[in-house]
Chains A and B, each alone.
Chain A
Amino acid sequence: MAVQPMRREKLRAVKERAAGIGFLCAAAFSVAAVFLIIVFMLIQGVPGIAEYGLFKFLFGKDWRPDLGSYGILNFIVGTVYVTAAATVLGGAAGILTAVFLGKFCPKFIRPLFGQLVNLLAAIPSIVYGLFGLVVLVPMIQKATRYRTAGVGILPSALILALMIMPIIVGISKNAVDAVPESYYEGAAALGASRAQAVFKVVVPAAKSGIFSSVVLGVGRALGETMAVIMVVGNNAANFPAQLVQPIRTLTTNIVLEFGEAGGELHRNMLLSTGLVLLFFILAVNLSITLAAQMRERRRAEKGKKPAVAAEKGGRADA
C-alpha cells in the first residue's frame, strides 16, 4: 500500500518532464524553421549564381531568359527606389500619425482610430493592388495627359507607403506611449508649448522605437509582391529612371516567371533572385538587432537607467 503513492509521485514527475520536453520541442520548431529556410534558399539559389556568375547576375542589365541572360540590376535598382520612396512617404506619415494618436488625439477617438489602423494592416495586399490599379493608375495617367501608362515607381511607392503605415503607426505609437508623462510635464513646466513639448522632448525620447518601426516598414516594403505587381508595369528591359515608367522589382520578377519557368537555369536564377531578396531582408533585420545591442552596450557603459523602448510588433490598440 505504501508503494502506490510513491509510484504516483514518480509518474507525475515523468509526466511533468514529458510536458516540458514537448513545449521545448514546439519552441525549437521556429529556430529550426529559420535554419531550414535559410539553408534551403541557399541550396536552391547558389547553383544558379555559380553557373551564371555572381557579377554578371548582380550587375547585368539584361534579363532575357529566352537569350540566356539573367542580369537583375534593373530589378535591384527598382526595388531600392520603390522601397526608399515608400519609406520616406509612409515613414513620415506613419510617425506623424503615431504622434497624433499618442499625444494630440481626443480620448474618445483613440480606440476607434487604433482599430482603423489595424484594419489598414489587415487588408490583403491583392486588394491594395487592385485599388492602385483602379484608382491611382488612371489618376496618374490623367495627370500626365495620357502620355504614360500610369504605372511604375510612383503608384507602387504610394501603395506601399499606405501598406507600411500601419506597422509604423502601431510600433511608433507604443514607443510614444512608453515615454513617461513626466518628460512632457517637465518640458511644459519649462515653458514649452504643447507642440514643442511633444516634438522636442517626447518624440526624441521615443526615437529608438520609432527607428525600429521604420526599419520594419522597410522590410515589409522590400518584400511586398502582389500589390506591387499590379501597378509597377513589369517591364524587365527598363532601367528605372523616371517616376512613371513600367519597371520590375525583385519580387515581381519572381512571381511573374516562376510559374512558367522554362529551363532548369531559368528556375534557378529566379530562386537566386529570391536569395538576393532574402539577403536584403536579413540585412535589414540584423540592423535592428545590432542597433538594439549597441544601445544596450552604450547604456551599460554609462550605467544609465534603460530608456524607453517599444515592444516589437505591437498592435495599435495595445
Chain B
Amino acid sequence: MRRKIRFSFSFVLQCLSYLAAGVCAASLIAIVAYILINGLPYVSWQFLFGKYTFYFDGRKADISIFPAMLATLLLVFFTLLFCIPIGVAAAVYIAEYTKRKNKFVKYIKVAVDTLTGVPSLIYGLFGAMFFGAFLKLGSSVMTGALTMTVMLLPFVIRSTEEALKAVPQMYREGSYALGAGRSATVFKIALPGALPGIFTSVILSVGRIIGESAAILFTVGWSAFAFPDLVHPTTNLSGMVYYLYQVNRNAAAAGSAVLLVLVVLLNVIAAVVGARLNRKRK
C-alpha cells in the first residue's frame, strides 16, 4: 500500500515538472509578447534618433532615447575598457599561474563569489559614495563605468577562467616544449584558445550594462536629454526607461521594447558563438 502512494507521489512530481517547464516557457513568451505589443507601436524615428525637446507651455514633449543611447555607448566602451583587461588578467592568474591548492586563489574565489552575490543597488550606493563623492567624480559616465567594472568583474573572471580551462593542456605543453616561457604561452596559446569564450562574456556584459538600472541611477544619473559627456549626469537606456515610466507610460513601454530587442539580440549572438565553440571542441 505504502509503495503505491510513493509511486504516485513521484509521478505527480513528474507531472509538476512538465507543468513548471511549461510555465517557464510561457512566461518568457508572455513577457516578450506583451512588452513588444505594448511598446513597438510607440517606437518611431523621432523616438529612436530624434532630439529630446521640451515644450514648456504645453504638456507635450518630443521624447527621444537617442541621448540615452549615446550615453549607453560611452558607458559600454569605458566599462569594457576597464573591466575586460582586469578580469581576463585575473582569470589568467587563477587558471595559468597557480596550483589548485594555492591559498591566495582560495581568497580570490571567495571574493569573486561574494562580489557575485552583492546586489546591484549596493554597487550603486558604493559607486556613488566612493567614486562619486570620495574620488569626486560626481554623477557621470566615468563613475558609472568604474562602478559597472567592479560589478561585472566576477562574471568576466569566471567565464574567462572557464574558457581557459577548456583549452587543452596539450597545447600548453607543446608550447613549453618549443622553449616558450609562461607569459608567451599565455598570450600565444591559452588566450587565443579562450578568445571565443571571452567574446561571449563581453557580449553578455554589454547586455548587462545596457539593462542595468539600480547601479546606474545614483552613479550616472536617471535622465538624459542632451548629448552626453564623461563628467555630467546622464543615464543609460534602462535608466531612461525608469525616467520615462514616471513621466509617460507609453514612452516607457516603447523604451522597454527597444531594451528587450537589444538584449535578445545580444543573447542570440552569444548563443551562436557559444554553439560554434562547443562544436569546435567536439
Give the interface of A toward B (CB within 8 A).
Answer: 12, 15-16, 19-20, 22-31, 33-34, 36-37, 40-41, 44, 92-94, 96-97, 99-101, 104-105, 111, 113, 115-120, 122-131, 133-135, 162, 165, 169, 193-196, 198-200, 216, 219-220, 222-226, 230, 251, 254-255, 258-259, 271, 274, 277-278, 281-282, 284-285, 288-289, 312-313, 317
Contacts and interface: CB of A to CB of B under 8 A. Distances in A.
A29 B264 contact: no
Interface string B215-231: 00110001000000000
A120 B24 contact: yes
Nearest to B29: A116
Contact of B24 (A97, A123, A219): A97
B52 interface: no
Nearest to B107: A31
A26 B86 contact: yes
Interface stretch (B9-17, B40-48, B58-66, B168-176): B9-17
Contacts of B18: 100, 104
Given A124-B259, A255-B121, A274-B121, A119 B97 contact: no
Nearest to B86: A26
B10 A119 contact: no
Question: What does DSSP make chain A's interface, helix, strand, loop or mixed?
Answer: helix
Contact of B129 (A40, A94, A131, A313): A40
Interface of B: 6-7, 9-11, 13-14, 16-21, 23-25, 27-28, 30-31, 34-35, 38, 85-90, 92-94, 96-97, 104-105, 107-108, 110-123, 125-126, 128-130, 134, 150, 153-154, 157-158, 181-183, 186, 204, 207-208, 210-214, 217-218, 222, 238, 241-242, 245, 252-253, 256, 259-260, 263-264, 266-267, 271, 274-275
B21 A97 contact: yes
A41 B125 CA distance: 8
A119 B125 contact: no
Contact of B211 (A126, A254, A258): A126
Given A96-B20, A119-B264, A124-B263, A193 B30 contact: no
B153 A251 contact: no
Given A40-B130, A122-B207, A125-B214, 7 more contacts: A26-B88, A125-B213, A129-B245, A225-B213, A259-B222, A277-B119, A312-B113
B217 A119 contact: no
A278 B129 CA distance: 15
B72 to A, nearest CB: 12
Contacts of A23: 89-90, 92-93, 96-97
Contact of B153 (A30, A254, A271, A317): A30
Contacts of B218: 258-259
Nearest to A203: B13
A30 B154 contact: yes
Max count, chain B CB within 10 A of own CB: residue among A92, A122, A130, A194: A130
A279 to B, nearest CB: 11
Contact of A317 (B122, B157, B274): B274
23 contacts: A23-B90, A27-B89, A30-B90, A31-B107, A31-B108, A37-B115, A37-B122, A37-B150, A41-B126, A96-B19, A100-B21, A111-B275, A119-B267, A124-B259, A128-B31, A130-B245, A193-B10, A195-B14, A219-B119, A220-B119, A226-B213, A258-B128, A289-B110
